[in-house]
Amino acid sequence: MGKSTILTLRVVIALALAGSLIVQTFIVPALWRDLDGEALWGRITLVVIAVLGVATMQVFAVCVWQLLTRVRKGSVFSERSFRYVDIIIWAVVAAAVLAFALAVLLAQGSIAPGVVGLVCGASLVLGGMALLVVVMKTLLRQAIDREDEARALRSELDEVV
């Protein structure tokens, strides 16, 4: 991966993290105020879903940043990378569950059924993304195993020569 690609990804991640802090600082309190006439349990649930949803994105972003650091250092093909990949998988799964919980919450109110369907669809897509990351983790595992095999073969070849 080129330096410009890593730099571009880091700029995007930094902007996303800055935006998420703005959401947590200004948008979530505004959401709470906007829901003033709603039932307290619904208000609390919606705000908690929003906060946790933003938190899943922040966790995802930090883990991708760490993996980019490992790519830059040439150490991404190691066992330590799996910790970040596992956290990414669980963050995306959590986002999928939160999206589905949001759909259930919205279905209780007077929101259009199409909106509920769209949020359910987003939940399904997030679940699919989690599965995609599981596949990518398997590819990372295979690449690490092949790298270990290649090192062993080089070592044996060095001994023969």
Mean pLDDT of 53-70: 96
Whole-prediction pTM value? Answer: 0.85
What's the confidence (pLDDT) of residue 1? Answer: 73
* Domain hosting residue 66, numbered range: 3-160
Of 16, 131, 5, residue with least CA distance to 68: 5
Domain tally, the chain? 1
Note the pLDDT tens digit of each residue in 78-87: 888 899 999 9
Name, in order, each residue with C-beta under 8 angstroms of 95's C-beta and a sequence gap of 6 or more: 53, 56, 57, 60, 126
